[in-house]
């Protein structure tokens, strides 16, 4: 029980610190002056590069095709249901 409390305390403390840094206009990772979306130039580009790399790898796989297909099916289903509901009224 005590351990759980400690974890919660640490998480909220970290969260509060990050919030404070953001309010002060500082990077929420290192505390340097922030440039974009609460991050300094270095950490902002770091995250952007990671995202780019991830998307590159992600596009190489066929995963996104599967998700895209599923999404299309869902949209079709939604439209079809909307039509049905309209016809009912
Ligand atoms: Zn930083």
Distance between Cα 32 and ligand 1 center (Å): 6
pLDDT over threshold 60, residue 1: no
Please give the span between the terminal C-alpha atoms of the chain, in angstroms, as a whole number: 55
Distance between Cα 24 and ligand 1 center (Å): 13
Ramachandran region, residue 63 (left: φ > 0; alpha: ψ -120 to 50; beta: rest): alpha
Other Cβ atoms closer than 10 A to 41: 13
Ligand 1 ion local residues (Cβ < 5 A): 27, 29-30, 32, 40, 43
Among residues 43, 42, 47, 25, which one has the least CA distance to residue 34? 25
Q: What integer pLDDT is reported at residue 7 of this predicted model?
A: 60
pLDDT over threshold 80, residue 3: no
Q: What integer pLDDT is reported at residue 2 of this predicted model?
A: 56
pTM of this prediction? 0.49
SS3 of 43, please? Answer: helix
Distance CA 69, CA 7 (A): 40
Average pLDDT over residues 6-15: 72
Over the stretch 20-66, which tens digit does the pLDDT of each residue have? 888 888 888 888 888 887 889 999 999 999 999 998 988 888 888 88
């Amino acid at each position: 029980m005590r351990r759980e409390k400690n974890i919660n305390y640490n998480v909220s403390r970290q969260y509060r610190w990050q919030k404070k840094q953001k309010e002060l206009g500082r990077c929420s990772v290192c505390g340097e002056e922030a440039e974009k979306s609460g991050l300094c130039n270095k950490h902002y580009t770091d995250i952007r590069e990671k995202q780019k790399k991830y998307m590159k790898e992600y596009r190489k796989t066929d995963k996104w095709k599967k998700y895209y297909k599923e999404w299309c099916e869902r949209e079709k289903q939604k439209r079809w249901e909307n039509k049905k509901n309209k016809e009912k009224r």
